[in-house]
Amino acid sequence: MLMIDCPWCGARAELEFRHCGEAHLLRPADPATLSDAQWADYLAFRDNARGWARERWRHVHGCGRFFNALRHTQTDRFAATYKPGQAWPEPPA
């Protein structure tokens, strides 16, 4: 089980959190103007990277707030968690 550092509440067990997918995906402002391929890209296509990944979490059984995290998808280690709207941190070297 992961230990996750909520930017508001501090470190809590993974059971309190819900993973919410890749972070920094902006919902297109005007979907009607997109091609089918662009819309599919937004809905379904993902980096699915092996290495450092930016992802959204929600502290559902805590403060209830969303935040972003930088986590390594092979070691599952978190480098940082940060509030929505903040710039993403650089991955560790």
Q: Find out whether 21 and 56 touch, Cβ atoms under 8 Å.
A: yes
- Indicate whether 62 belongs to the interface with Zn ion (CB under 5 A): yes
* 23 contact partners, CB below 8 Å, separation of at least 6: 54, 55, 56, 68, 69, 88
Tokens of 60: 């559902």
- Indicate whether 54 belongs to the interface with Zn ion (CB under 5 A): no
Q: Which one of 59, 68, 70, 81 is in contact with Zn ion (CB under 5 A)?
A: 59
- Please identify, among the stretches 32-40, 48-56, 58-66, 76-84, the one whose residues bind Zn ion according to the rule CB under 5 A: 58-66
* 62 contact partners, CB below 8 Å, separation of at least 6: 6, 9, 12, 16, 17
Contacting residues toward Zn ion, per CB under 5 A: 6, 8-9, 59, 62-63
Note the residues at the interface with another protein (CB under 8 A): 1-2, 14-15, 18-19, 21, 36-37, 40-41, 43-50, 53, 55, 71, 73-76
